[in-house]
Amino acid sequence: MTAPAAELQKAVFAALAGDAAIVAALGGGKIYDHVPAGTAFPYVTFGRTSVYDWSTATESGTEQLFTLHVWSKARGRAEALAIIERIGALLHDQPLALDGHALVNLRQEFSEVRQDEDHDVYHGLVRFRAVTETA
């Protein structure tokens, strides 16, 4: 059986890559675990994932906290904020299918956009909390 975090990442990737609005906003399917050199902005990357045991006496489960990063070189925050808004609409409380695991819930907990003046880029963060059980 595949690790629940890997299955969740696959499901998140599929949800984002399968959405025409996200693909259009990114100028293509630019959703990465590792960004290829020379990738044009904007794009989305998978960030930190933390997995905690969430088992009960009768069920095996995990709590997962994961972050998606939005990278934009547009003038101002609007592009990054719009992409974050769409990501939230696609994932928050949605019943994503996981192989070998059941998604109990998926909630957006936090988002922000900040300017990185050293690199002339807007960096957006969106953090989610998911609870999964073994199917």
CATH of 4-134 among 1.20.120.80, 3.30.450.40, 3.30.2000.30, 3.90.1150.10: 3.30.2000.30
- pLDDT of 7-45, one tens digit each? 999 999 999 999 999 999 999 999 999 999 999 999 999
Please report which confidence band the pLDDT of residue 56 belongs to, taking 50, 70 and 90 as the band edges: confident
Strands 61-72 vs 101-116: parallel, antiparallel or unpaired:
unpaired
Strand partners, 33: none
Span 73-130, pLDDT tens digits: 999 999 999 999 999 999 999 999 999 999 999 999 999 999 998 889 999 999 999 9
The tokens for 97 are 């299918």
Give the pLDDT score at 2: 84
Nearest to 25 by CA among 107, 124, 129: 124
More confident of the two residues 132 and 56: 132
Domain residue ranges of the chain, discontinuous segments joined by +? 4-134
Q: What's the pLDDT band for 1 if we cut at 50, 70, 90?
A: low
User: What is the share, in percent, of the chain residues with pLDDT greater than 70?
Assistant: 99
Cα–Cα distance, 123 to 79 (Å, whole number): 10
